[in-house]
Amino acid sequence: MRPFEGIRVIDITHVLAGPFAAYQLGVLGADVIKVEHPDDPDQSRGTGSDAALNRVGMGTGFLTQASNKRSITADLKTEEGREIIRRLVATADVLVENYRPGAFEALGLGYAALSAINPRLIYASFSAFGQDGPRREQTAYDHVIQATSGIMAMTGTETVHPVKLGTPAVDYATGTMGAFALASALFQRERTGQGQLIDMAMLDVAMILMASHLTGYLRNGKHPKPHGNRQGFATSGAYQTKDGLVMVGASNVRQQRRLWTVLERPDLIKRTNAEREADAPREEAAMSAIMLTRTAAEWEDYLQERHIPAARVRTMGEAAADPHLASRGVIHRHAGATGVDGGFSVPLAAFKFAHDGPRIDTPPPAFGEHTDAVLAELGYAPADVARLRAAKVI
Residue 271 has pLDDT above 90, yes or no: yes
Please report the pLDDT score of residue 232 as a whole number. 85
Distance from C-alpha of 343 to C-alpha of 340, rounded to nearest angstrom: 8
Please report the pLDDT score of residue 154 as a whole number. 96
Please report the pLDDT score of residue 202 as a whole number. 98
Mean pLDDT of 37-56: 97
Residue 231 has pLDDT above 90, yes or no: no
- Domain covering 8-209+327-390, topology: Rossmann fold (3.40.50)
Q: Provide the percentage of residues in the chain whose pLDDT is more than 70.
A: 100
| Domain at 236-313: CATH code | 3.30.1540.10
> Residue 38's closest CA among 11, 74, 69?
74
Compute CA distances 46 → 51, 59, 273, 366, whole Å.
8, 5, 50, 12
Mean pLDDT of 99-104: 96
CA dihedral 120→364→355→179, nearest 10 degrees, is -40
Domain boundaries, the chain: 8-209+327-390, 236-313
Residue 3 has pLDDT above 90, yes or no: yes
Distance from C-alpha of 27 to C-alpha of 89, rounded to nearest angstrom: 21
Compute CA distances 393 → 19, 75, 384, 389, whole Å.
22, 5, 11, 6
Query: pLDDT per residue over 332-365, tens digit each?
Result: 999 999 999 999 999 999 999 999 999 999 999 9
pTM for the structure as a whole: 0.95
Mean pLDDT of the chain: 97
CB atoms within 10 A of CB 324: 8
Which residues are CB-contacts of 241 (< 8 A; sequence separation ≥ 6)? Answer: 291, 292, 294, 295, 296, 298, 299, 312
Query: pLDDT per residue over 280-332, tens digit each?
Result: 999 999 999 999 999 999 999 999 999 999 999 999 999 999 999 999 999 99
Query: pLDDT per residue over 191-205, tens digit each?
Result: 999 999 999 999 999
Q: Which residues are catalytic?
A: 171
Q: Provide the percentage of residues in the chain whose pLDDT is more than 90.
A: 99
Residue 190 has pLDDT above 90, yes or no: yes
